[in-house]
Amino acid sequence: MSKALIIDDEQQMRRLLCMVLESRGYEVCEAADGQLGLQEAAFHRPDVVLLDLGLPGMNGIEVLKRLREWSDVPVLILSVRDQEAIKVEALENGADDYVTKPFGTAELLARLTVIQRRRFTRQSAEIVVGALKLDLLHHEALLDDAPIKLTPTEFALLKVLAEYAGRIVTQNQIIKQVWAGQTSDPSEGLRVHINHLRKKLGETGPRIVNEPGIGYRLEEA
């Protein structure tokens, strides 16, 4: 059975969500603001979090950031706003998906299932992209089953690209995930590491394609 944490200031909304989730066999706990939400998350260790962006006091995005400092729990964003920019910001800060109020219960449950499964596969021990295999457990990269030597930064960078293989990853997203919580500005150095990775991947491995002005994409060879 999965544990779900609801962070929303409206009691009515919490009750609705609570009913829906419990009828699906979730064990539910609730929090009325961001501060409490973080405490509950730390204490109950939920398997999934439903987070309202329109929280009083601490901003929903802020809650998400703080949560992501120590937890990989799947987060589903709830919001009434249809501001695209905020959605993107939430997703870039580690939210897993997004539903807009008002929403149907069927849609909500479907999303929950998807993000929980995705998180499960993501934390699986390895990522495979064509001839490349990343063993996250042993921090090892295999190309055609032969180990290749990657520095820690290179491994983290390749991991981000491989997780979203085939899709564009923004430079900001890369920097946020690889150089998380650091002060220096690695925007210049990113190009160097990409260059190193490309050499080590060689002809046989996946290609790192640049999308000028946007970011990079890992393409199966």
Q: What are phi and psi of 59, to 5 degrees?
A: -60, 145
Q: How far is the CB of 212 from its own copies (least distance, A)?
A: 7
Q: Which residues bind its own copies (CB under 8 A)?
A: 82, 84, 87-88, 91-92, 97-98, 100, 111, 119-121, 123-125, 127, 136-140, 149, 151-152, 155, 159, 163-164, 167-170, 211-215
The binder of 168, among DNA, its own copies, none, by C-beta within 5 to 8 A per type, is its own copies
What H or E segment, with its residue span, contains residue 216?
strand 215-219
Q: Could you give the residue ranges of the DSSP H alpha helices within 69-188?
A: 84-92, 105-122, 152-163, 171-178
194 binds DNA (CB under 7 A): yes
Q: Which is nearer to DNA, 24 or 200 (CB)?
A: 200
Q: Which is nearer to its own copies, 25 or 213 (CB)?
A: 213
Q: Site for DNA (CB under 7 A): which residue of 25, 102, 104, 152?
A: 152
Question: Helices H, strands E: what count in the chain?
Answer: 8, 12
Q: Which is nearer to its own copies, 41 or 169 (CB)?
A: 169
Q: What gap in Å lies between CA 18 and CA 31, rounded to an integer?
A: 12
For the chain, give the number of residues. 221
Please give the sequence-ordered ranges of beta strands (E in DSSP) within 32-130, or none if there are none.
Answer: 48-52, 75-79, 97-100, 126-129
180 binds DNA (CB under 7 A): no
Q: Site for DNA (CB under 7 A): which residue of 39, 113, 204, 210?
A: 210
The binder of 91, among DNA, its own copies, none, by C-beta within 5 to 8 A per type, is its own copies
Q: Site for DNA (CB under 7 A): which residue of 4, 161, 179, 206?
A: 179
The alpha-carbon radius of gyration of the chain (Å, integer) is: 19
Q: How far is the CB of 146 from DNA (least distance, A)?
A: 17
Residue 153, CB-side half-sphere exposure with 13 Å CA sphere:
15
Q: What Cα–Cα distance (Å) separates residue 21 from each residue in 2, 5, 39, 95, 127?
A: 10, 10, 21, 19, 31
Q: Contact residues for DNA (CB under 7 A)?
A: 149, 151-154, 171, 179, 182, 184-186, 188-189, 191-195, 198-199, 210-215
